Amino acid sequence: MTLSVALQHVFAGFALDLAFDAPAGVTVLFGPSGSGKTSVINAVAGLLRPDRGRIVLADRVLFDGATGVNVATRQRHVGYVFQDARLFPHMSVARNLTYGGRHDADNIITLLGLTELLGRRPDTLSGGEKQRVALGRALMADPALLLMDEPLAALDAPRKAEILPYIEALRDDLKIPILYVSHDVAEVARLATTLVLIQGGRVTCAGPVETVLADPATVPLMGARDAGAVIRGIVQRHDRDGLCVMAFDGGQLILLGPLGPVGAAVRVRVAAQDVILSLAPPTGISALNVLTVTVTGV
């Protein structure tokens, strides 16, 4: 299932004019604040009617400015998770979850680790727990598309670490497109399957996350500190000193900390600023990873 978006809309002092496709998996809309990311997902949700354009989910037209088609928000079968959880404070977690439906309730509760929270009220939950409940509520409505607008932006690092594995599980288990807004490169590298860079209301680059992040042409758009590459690999073993060995197409990487069980598929983001080039085998330094490579371009 693929979401196709093409839209144009003029705001006061700002114009949105872009097009992209979001296949199954997580498509991250990445760009600076004010670039139009939230406006895009609001248009997909039906909360914003574009001046012109066409939005199609699989073979279902949600909006077509030329023909006048504009499916009502409640009929688009879209799940929306906002930056703030927006739970009903007077309802228990269980009632919040089933407010929009009960689709696959037992599996969703298990997948998101919500069993122990069902009888509690939102004001007793941590930020990460609230976002898991909001995510579960969206999924129980049986959406054909999931929209997530910077769902981790208000969370501190420990709460982000708590919820990221759940979003990864949804990415791997669900067969629907997930449109995810972020300006955090670490989130992008960990979650995205497709990356769409947006600047000034226009798409500047789009494609598989590994390709886009590794393209030197994107460095001015993302910033030199965020430039780098994403490498996919398999956890090969855990050593007693707390290091982990990951096997990938180019050999092995030695990494800090447990990344997952042996055999697990993982991603590693290598920041460009952490790479050292040497014309001879380096000696007298503490680098654990030394790879033989060929420079193909500068």
Task: List residues bridging with 234 in a β-sheet.
Answer: 247, 265
More confident residue, 157 or 93: 93
* pLDDT value at residue 154: 82
| Bridge partners, residue 148, by sequence | 81, 180
pLDDT for 137 equals 94
- pTM of the shown model: 0.86
For 34, how many CA atoms within 13 A lie in the half-sphere containing its CB? 4
- Give the per-residue pLDDT at 45: 96
Identify the residue with better confidence: 175 or 207.
Answer: 207
pLDDT of residue 32: 86
- What pLDDT score does 264 carry? 85
Distance, CA of 177 to CA of 24 (rounded, Å): 4
The 10s digit of each residue's pLDDT in 138-192 is 999 999 999 999 998 888 888 888 888 888 888 888 888 999 999 888 888 889 9
User: Is pLDDT at 217 greater than 90 in this prediction?
Assistant: no
pLDDT in tens, 37-63: 999 999 999 999 999 999 999 989 999
Evaluate whether 104 touches 139 at the Cβ level (below 8 Å): yes
pLDDT at 55: 97
- pLDDT band of 73, cuts 50, 70, 90: very high
Give the tens place of pLDDT for each residue, 222-260: 777 778 888 889 999 988 888 999 999 889 999 987 777
CA atoms of 133 and 85, how far apart (whole Å): 8
Res 168: pLDDT: 86
Pick from 221, 222, 198: nearest CA to 39: 198
Amino acid type, 85:
A
Give the model's pLDDT for residue 111: 87
